[in-house]
Amino acid sequence: MVAKVFVVNDIDLRHLRSFLAVARERSITAAGTALHLTQQAVSTHVNRLERTLGVALLVRTSRGVLLTAAGEELAAGGAELVDDIDRLAERVRAAAGSESGTLRLACCPVATSLFAVDVAEILEEAVAGLRVTLTGARHPKHEAELLTGGQADAAFMWLPLGDARLHHAVVRTDPRAVVLSARHPLADRPALTLADIAGEPVLRPDVLVSAEAQRFWLSDPRPDGTPAPAGPLVPLVEDCLLEVGRGRGIWLAPRPLESLMPAANVRWVPLTDAEDFDLAVVWTDRAPQPLITRLITEVRTITGYAEEPHAA
C-alpha cells in the first residue's frame, strides 16, 4: 500500500473546525448548531477532510457518530493545531496594533515637504490610530541632527549619506539635472552630458551630511577620472539658484526640485550620463521598527518603486 502524504496547507481549517466540533459533540447535528452551520454543511466539510487525508475519520450511527482510530488522533492533534493558529492570529493582530501611535517625520521644505504631506495623509488613512507629525528641517544636515538626536523617527533624504548611524531604504529614483543661468551658452540645449560641462565650476551647498555625499552631488570624479571643478561653497540649497542666476557656476540637482524651486533666470537641463539620485526613508536604531516598515511599504506603493531582487 502506498502511504498518502499531506501537509497542513492541504487541510482547510473550516473543514478541520467542523470535524473537531463533531468530535466534541459526537453528533453532526449538534456540531452544526454549535457552529451555526447546517447539518449538510458540516457533513460536507467532514467528507472533504476525509478525502484530503485519504482516511475515514468517523462512522455514523443511529445515535450519532463514532470516531475511528484516525479520527481520535486528528481530534487530539487537530485541537492543538487550531489553538496554535488562533494564538498566532492574535499575535499577528497585536503586531498590527503596534503600528499605531505617533510617527515623527523630518522633511526639508524645499525638497520633500510636499511629498511628505501626501505620505502622512495616506499613512494615517491606512493605519488606524496612527498619527504622523511633520517637522521642518532646514537642510540634510539638520535632518540628520533631528534623527540622531531623537527629535524625529524618520526622514526623506537623497543618498548617499556616509553616516553609519543612519539606516535607509530607497523609495524613489530621481534623474539628475544641470541648473544653469538662462544666459549660459548651454542653457537652450535639450539635454547635456558630463563632457559638455567638464570645465564648469559646480556650486556646493554646505548642507550635505558627508564628504561622500558631496562628491556624489558634484559627480566627482568624472567618468574619465578627472576631478569635478568645485565651485563656490554656499550656505543653503536655495542659494544655489541665486548664484547660478548670477553666473557664478552651475548646480547638479535632482530634477524634481525644479517644480519646488522655480526661477525665471535659470534653466533646468536633463543630465543624461550621471548617476540618478536615490530618495530614501532614513532612520536610526531608536526608531519604532513596525512603523518604519509600514512607512517604507506605503511610500513604495505611492512611488511605484520596486526593490531589486538582490538588494539588501
Instruction: Give the pLDDT band (50/70/90) at residue 3.
Output: very low
* Percentage, residues of the chain above pLDDT 90: 54
Evaluate whether residue 309 is within a structural domain.
no
Asked whether residue 237 carries a pLDDT value surpassing 70, the answer given is: yes
- What pLDDT shows up at residue 88? 78
Which CATH number characterizes residue 64's domain? 1.10.10.10
Asked whether residue 250 carries a pLDDT value surpassing 90, the answer given is: yes
Cell of 207: 548642507
- What pLDDT shows up at residue 78? 87
Instruction: Give the pLDDT band (50/70/90) at residue 81.
Output: confident
pLDDT, mean of residues 82-111: 73
- What pLDDT shows up at residue 308? 60
The answer to whether 167 touches 303, Cβ cutoff 8 Å, is: no
Which CATH number characterizes residue 132's domain? 3.40.190.10
Listed residues 97, 124, 146: the one ending a domain: 97
Evaluate whether residue 132 is within a structural domain.
yes
- What pLDDT shows up at residue 100? 57
DSSP calls for 139-175 = SHHHHHHHHHTTS-SEEEEESP---TT-EEEEEEEE-
Evaluate whether residue 27 is within a structural domain.
yes
- Compute the C-alpha angle 271/263/172, nearest 5°: 45
- What pLDDT shows up at residue 97? 52
Domain identity same for 204 and 232: yes
Domain identity same for 56 and 136: no
Evaluate whether residue 2 is within a structural domain.
no
Cell of 269: 537641463
Asked whether residue 299 carries a pLDDT value surpassing 80, the answer given is: yes
Domain identity same for 159 and 289: yes
Give the lowest-confidence range in 212-216, 232-236, 302-306. Answer: 302-306
Query: Phi-psi bin for 64: left (phi > 0), alpha (psi -120 to 50), beta?
Result: left
Task: Give the Cα separation of 312 and 293 in Å (integer).
Answer: 14
Domain count for the chain: 3
Asked whether residue 194 carries a pLDDT value surpassing 80, the answer given is: yes
- What pLDDT shows up at residue 64? 81
Instruction: Give the pLDDT band (50/70/90) at residue 117.
Output: confident
Q: At what angle do helices 39-53 and 13-25 cross, to 10 degrees?
A: 110
The whole domain housing 163 covers 101-172+278-303
Evaluate whether residue 312 is within a structural domain.
no
Listed residues 97, 125, 145: the one ending a domain: 97
CA end-to-end span of the chain, whole Å? 48
Evaluate whether residue 310 is within a structural domain.
no
Q: Which of 7-11, 76-80, 111-115 has the highest mean pLDDT?
A: 76-80
Instruction: Give the pLDDT band (50/70/90) at residue 92.
Output: low
- What pLDDT shows up at residue 289? 87
Domain identity same for 195 and 113: no
Asked whether residue 111 carries a pLDDT value surpassing 90, the answer given is: no
* Percentage, residues of the chain above pLDDT 70: 90
- What pLDDT shows up at residue 210? 92
Domain identity same for 93 and 112: no
- What pLDDT shows up at residue 79? 85
Per DSSP, 79 falls in state H
Nearest partner of 159 among 103, 213, 86, judged by Cα: 213
Domain identity same for 142 and 286: yes
Per DSSP, 229 falls in state -
Asked whether residue 240 carries a pLDDT value surpassing 70, the answer given is: yes
Domain identity same for 164 and 286: yes
List of E strands, 197-294 = 202-205, 230-234, 251-254, 266-270, 277-283
Averaged pLDDT of the chain: 86
Domain identity same for 159 and 282: yes
- Sequence-distant (6+) residues with CB within 8 A of 252 are 176, 177, 178, 179, 202, 217, 218, 219, 271, 274
Instruction: Give the pLDDT band (50/70/90) at residue 1.
Output: very low
Asked whether residue 133 carries a pLDDT value surpassing 60, the answer given is: yes
